[in-house]
Structure 1
Amino acid sequence: MHSRWIFTLAGLAMAAPYAFAATGGNSTHAVDAIALYSQGAAVVQDSRAVSLDRGEQTVSWPVIGAIQPDTLWLSGAGVQLTGFDISAPGADASGNNLSDRIGRSVTLRAPGGKTRQGTLVNVDGDTAYVRVDDRIERITAASPIEISWSVGKSRGGARNSGSGLTMNVDADKSGQRKLTVTYQTRAPRWQASYTGRFDPASGKLRLVSQAVIDNSGHDALDARQAWLVAGDTSRAHGGPPRPMMMAKMASSESAAAGPPQAVGDVYRYPLAHGLHVKAGAVKSVALMKPISVEATRRYRFENQALNDTGNSRQHVRVSLAFDNSSGQPLPAGAVRIYDAGHAAQLMGGTRIDDTPAGAPVTLALGGAFDITGTHRVTKQSDDEGNGKTTRVRVELFNAGDKTRRVTIAERLPAGAQLADDAPKTSGGSAEQPEWRVSVPAGGHRTLRYRFLQPKSS
C-alpha cells in the first residue's frame, strides 16, 4: 500500500506506510546494504548516527523482517552491546500502531505541507476515519494525506518494523556516534530464471537470464546497496548465512545486475541501484548478458535391467546438452526452452543446478512423442555354481520421419556384469552400460544382451 502514515519521535518525522503501522508490515526505512541468498535468507547491514550519553542506555533500531536473535552484531567506536530485546512482529508497547490512536488526536498533513488537527474515530482495513471540526474524513491507502502523532522519546529514532529491536549499550563517553548493526533475517527466496531459444538447424542455444525476487511478505525490501548471492552457504541450525561485511559498490545506470563477484565459495551479483521491492510485489532484473552456446538434442531410453514392461511402450526421454562456455557461473533456477524453428513452440521446461563456468549441462525436456520402446526380461536361468544368467531385449520404435540416435542405458543389479557375448557398449560404466543406436524413420531397432549375477553366499 502506497499511502504513508507518519508518527513523530521527539520531533523527528518517521515515514511509515499504514499497512505496517496497522499490521506489522511494510517498513520504509532504507538500510545501507542487503544481501539476498538463494536459499531464502538475507544479511542486512545498516549504519546510523545516534546521540549517546556516557554509560548504559537503550537504543531502538528499525529492522527489516523477523531478525534472527543469535546473528546480531553491533559495531561502534567506544560502544559495547550488553544486551537486546526483540519484540514479536506487529507488537508495539508504545502505542505506535494507528489502531491504538482511536479516540485520540492525530495530525493530517497534505502534500504541500499544510497540517490540520483531528480525532481518529475508526480504522477499517486500509481506511481511516478522522473527525476534523464537524465532519468525518475518510482516508484510504490511495490518499496522499499523511497521518502523524507524537510518541515518547526513543534514542535512535526507531519504530517497530516486522520485529522491533531495542539494544542495551554501554558508551565510554557522551556524544554522537556512528553505529553499525549487522543481522540476518528471513527473506524472500530469489532465483535465476532462464529463457532459451534452440535452433535445431544450427545447433545454437541462446539463453537470457533474469533474477526474480518474489516478496510475498509484509515487509518492504529497501536498501541502498544490494547483492544477490548464489551458491550453497552453510547455515547454523537451519538458519540464514553468517553475517558478512558489505563492500562499497560503484554506481551504475544499468538496470541489470553487475558481473558476478567471487566471494569465498559463492558468487554474488551487485544490483546497481540497490534493492527496492514493495511488500507483496515481484521484482525482476537482468542477471547477466545473453549467452549463446553449442547444444545437442539427445534421446535416452533408460531402465533397470530387471524391469519388464511387457508390451507396454515407454516414451524415450528428450534432453538438451551443452557445455557452459559462457565464461560465467550459472546460478540455479528454472529454464524454459523454445524451438526457434517453429512459431510459439515450447520444447520443455526444467531446472538447472548451480553450474560453474565450463561445466556440462543437461536439460531434461520431456518425452519424445514418436519414439517409444519396450524393455523385456526374456529369460532367466540358474547356472550350477556360477550364479544366474538373465537375457534382456530392448526394442525401440520410431514413428517419425527422421532417423534418430538413441542412447539405451541399463542399470545392472549390484555385482552383476555383462556377458562376454553382449554387444559392445558405447559408454557408461560396467554397472551402467550404454549403447547408442540409430532408429530409422518409420522403423524399429532391437538390442539383446545377457548379464551374469554371481551366486549369493
Structure 2
Amino acid sequence: MSAAGLGALIATLGGPVLAQTAAVQDGSGGPDHVSLTIYNQDIALVEDTRSLTLPAGRSRREFPGVSASIKPETVGLTGQGLSVVEQNFDYDLLTPDKLMQSAVGQEIGIVRTNPGSGAEQTQRARVLAANQGVVLAVDGHVVVLRDDGVPTRVVFDRVPENLRPRPTLSVTLEADRAGRRDVGLTYLTTGLQWKADYVARFDEAAGKLDLTGWITLTNRSGVTFSNADTRVVAGDVALINDTGNGRSYRPPQQRTTTVRGNGTEQGQAQGLADVYIYPLPEPVTVANNQTKQVGLIDVSGVPAAKRYLYEADSFTTETEPQAADVAVIFSNSRASGVGTQLPAGVARVYVNDASGEPRFIGEDQVAHTPAGSDIVITTGQAFDVTVQPRVVSSISAPKPAYYRWRTRFEMEYMVRNARPEATTVEVRQHGLGRNTELDDQSIPGELQDSNTIVWRVPVPANGETVLKAVVTTGG
C-alpha cells in the first residue's frame, strides 16, 4: 500500500490515527481580531491581535492560524514590554502520509479487526520505509502494508514535533514583566486576491444606465479569516520579484476602457499615498479555498450615451467598409450620481430587448478610474454603422529644411448608417506628424492631440454622409 493509500484506508475505515495524547500544544487558539488589506497583485497585509498571558523573561509562544502562504521575512510583532528573540514558521502539516513518513525507523501499532467475530488483534511493527509503499518489520518478517479487505487501523505513539495541525508561527519572546497583554502580529501573505466586477443596464432611449459593482474575494492562503475587517486597494504598488535580481515587478498591461476628463473629484474611497483604499461595509469571513462577493456600488439613473467610433491608424484606402466600434459612455462624477472612484475590473453591459428582457451586449476592462472621469465601455462592433476611408490624393508639400517630409493628404470618409434612426459617428485619424493643418473640411474637426484628428459626423437614418478634408502634416 502506498502512503497515500494508507491515508485513504485510515479515512475509510474510521480508525483513530493516534493512541496517545498529541505532543503538539496549540498555545493561543487564533487571533482575537483580524484585519485584511488586499492588493491587486496577489499580496495582502494581515493584522491580527491576540491576548496572551506571558511570564517574565524569555518564553516561546506559538501563533497558530496564520496564513500558510505567509512571507516570514515580513512578520512584525508588537506588544508592551516585549522584544522578539527568534521566530520560526512551521508549515509541515499533519497528515496520515506525513505521520507514516515521520515514523520510519520507529515502532507503530497495527490493529486488525476480525470481520466475523469483531475481535481485535494488535501487533507492534517497525516502519522500514514509506516511499511508494509502506514496508514494515513484524515478528521477524518484512511485510508490505496493504488494503486486503480486513478492517485495519494504524496507531502512532506520538505526533512528531515538526508536524503541525495547521500552519504555525512560533516566536521566542523576551518580556519585561509577567502578565496578560495584547500582542499585535502583522505580515504579508500571498494567496489572497480581489477583483471588481460591474453590471451596467443601459437604456438607450432614456439615456441612462443602472450600475452595480461587486468586490470578489478569493482566498487560497491556506487558512480561514473569520470576521475580518477587510479593505481592498485599487492601484498597483511596486514589488520585488523572487528571483533575487532585485527588479521591480510590474503587472502586465491589459486593454482597458478609455477614460476621459480630468478626474479631479474626491470620491468616497480613502486615499493613501497614490492608491485608493475601499473598506468593505462590514466584517467578512473568507474561508480557505472560497470565493466571496461583497457589494461595492449600486446606483440608478446615471446619465449615459452610446457612441460609434472609427479609428484610422494611418492615411490609407480601405476596399471594404469598416465596422465602427460601439461604446457606452457615462461619468463617475458626483453630478451623475456615482461620485466615487472605480477600481479596475470588468464591466458587462446589458440592454432590454423588445419584450423588456435584459440581453448581454458586451464587456470591457475598466481601468482604475478617479472620480469625475468619463468612462467609455466598448461593447463590440456595429455591422450596420460603417466607415470607408479613401485617399483621394497624396502629394508632397513644401517643408522647412529641418523637416524630413511633409505631405498633403486629400481624404474622403464614407460614413454609412443602416439603422432606422439617425446617429453620430466619431471618426479619428491618427498617424500625424508635426504642425498639422486642416483645410477644406466638409465637417469641422479638431486636433485632439499631436497625433489625432477628431470629426463628429452626423448620419441620417438609413443614409450616408461623406466627410471630406485636406490634411497637411510632416515630420
* TM-score band, normalised by shorter chain: 0.7 to 0.9
5 Å matches for 1:278-317? 278-279=288-289, 281-306=290-315, 308-317=316-325
CA contact (8 A) 2:40 2:236 kept: no
Partner of residue 405 from structure 1, selected from 383, 400, 424: 424
CA gap 1:263/1:420 in 2 versus in 1, 3 angstroms: closer
Partner of residue 275 from structure 1, selected from 255, 263, 285: 285
Q: Which residue is 1:395 aligned to?
A: 414
Aligned residues with identical type, % of pairs: 23
5 Å matches for 1:421-440? 421-423=440-442, 425-429=444-448, 431=450, 432-440=452-460
Partner of residue 357 from structure 1, selected from 357, 371, 376: 371
Q: Which residue is 1:379 aligned to?
A: 393
Partner Cα distance (1:197, 1:399) in 2: 25
Q: CA deviation at 1:101?
A: 3.0
Gaps of 5+ in 2: 1-10, 101-106, 111-121, 133-144, 243-247, 250-266, 401-405
Query: Residue 55 in 1 paired to residue 57 in 2?
Result: yes
Partner Cα distance (2:348, 2:69) in 1: 34
Number of aligned positions between the proteins:
391
Partner Cα distance (1:277, 1:32) in 2: 14
CA gap 1:312/1:15 in 2 versus in 1, 3 angstroms: farther
Deviations 1:408-457, CA, capped at 9 Å, x for gaps: 11124221412333345344525322111122233222112122234x6x
CA gap 1:260/1:438 in 2 versus in 1, 3 angstroms: closer
Deviations 1:248-284, CA, capped at 9 Å, x for gaps: xxxxxxxxxxx965152422223524222232x3211
Query: Residue 339 in 1 paired to residue 351 in 2?
Result: yes
Task: Report the aligned-residue RMSD.
Answer: 4.2
Q: Which residue is 2:233 aligned to?
A: 230
Partner Cα distance (2:373, 2:351) in 1: 24
Q: CA deviation at 1:369?
A: 1.6
Deviations 1:213-240, CA, capped at 9 Å, x for gaps: 233x361431322313132153442599
Residue type of the alignment partner of 2:211: L
Partner Cα distance (2:31, 2:83) in 1: 24
CA gap 1:388/1:327 in 2 versus in 1, 3 angstroms: closer
Q: Which residue is 2:76 aligned to?
A: 73
**Structure 1, 54-63 or 72-81: larger mean CA deviation:** 54-63
Q: Which residue is 1:166 aligned to?
A: 170
Partner Cα distance (1:320, 1:234) in 2: 30
Deviations 1:59-95, CA, capped at 9 Å, x for gaps: 33231132223322110111112333335xx535xxx
Partner Cα distance (1:66, 1:299) in 2: 47
Partner Cα distance (2:32, 2:79) in 1: 20
CA gap 1:384/1:50 in 2 versus in 1, 3 angstroms: closer
Partner Cα distance (1:9, 1:54) in 2: 27
Partner Cα distance (1:273, 1:385) in 2: 67
Partner Cα distance (2:470, 2:235) in 1: 43
Point out the structure with max Rg over C-alpha.
Answer: 2
Q: CA deviation at 1:195?
A: 1.3
**Structure 1, 38-47 or 204-213: larger mean CA deviation:** 38-47
CA gap 1:334/1:385 in 2 versus in 1, 3 angstroms: closer
Q: SS of the counterpart of 2:420? A: coil
CA contact (8 A) 1:31 1:44 kept: no
Q: SS of the counterpart of 1:100? A: helix
Deviations 1:18-58, CA, capped at 9 Å, x for gaps: xxxxxxxxxx9786222222332211112223444443443
Q: Which residue is 2:5 aligned to?
A: none
CA gap 1:378/1:83 in 2 versus in 1, 3 angstroms: farther
**Structure 1, 294-303 or 373-382: larger mean CA deviation:** 373-382
CA gap 1:167/1:234 in 2 versus in 1, 3 angstroms: same
Residue type of the alignment partner of 2:237: S
CA gap 1:321/1:225 in 2 versus in 1, 3 angstroms: same
Residue type of the alignment partner of 1:450: V
CA contact (8 A) 1:85 1:165 kept: yes
Partner Cα distance (1:441, 1:173) in 2: 85
Partner Cα distance (1:385, 1:433) in 2: 21
CA gap 1:366/1:84 in 2 versus in 1, 3 angstroms: same
Residue type of the alignment partner of 2:328: L
CA contact (8 A) 1:61 1:165 kept: yes
Query: Residue 210 in 1 paired to residue 220 in 2?
Result: no
Q: CA deviation at 1:334?
A: 1.0
Q: CA deviation at 1:337?
A: 0.9
Partner Cα distance (1:423, 1:284) in 2: 52
Partner Cα distance (2:159, 2:393) in 1: 86
Q: Which residue is 1:91 aligned to?
A: 92
Partner Cα distance (1:167, 1:313) in 2: 70
Partner Cα distance (1:165, 1:295) in 2: 53
Q: SS of the counterpart of 1:101? A: helix
Partner Cα distance (1:53, 1:425) in 2: 82
Q: CA deviation at 1:384?
A: 4.7
CA contact (8 A) 2:441 2:467 kept: no
Q: Which residue is 1:115 aligned to?
A: none
Deviations 1:328-377, CA, capped at 9 Å, x for gaps: 33222111111124434222111212223332211111111211111222
CA gap 1:220/1:381 in 2 versus in 1, 3 angstroms: same
5 Å matches for 1:181-260? 181-215=185-219, 217=220, 219-237=222-240
Q: SS of the counterpart of 1:38? A: coil
Q: SS of the counterpart of 1:206? A: strand
Partner of residue 369 from structure 1, selected from 379, 383, 386: 383
CA gap 1:15/1:152 in 2 versus in 1, 3 angstroms: farther
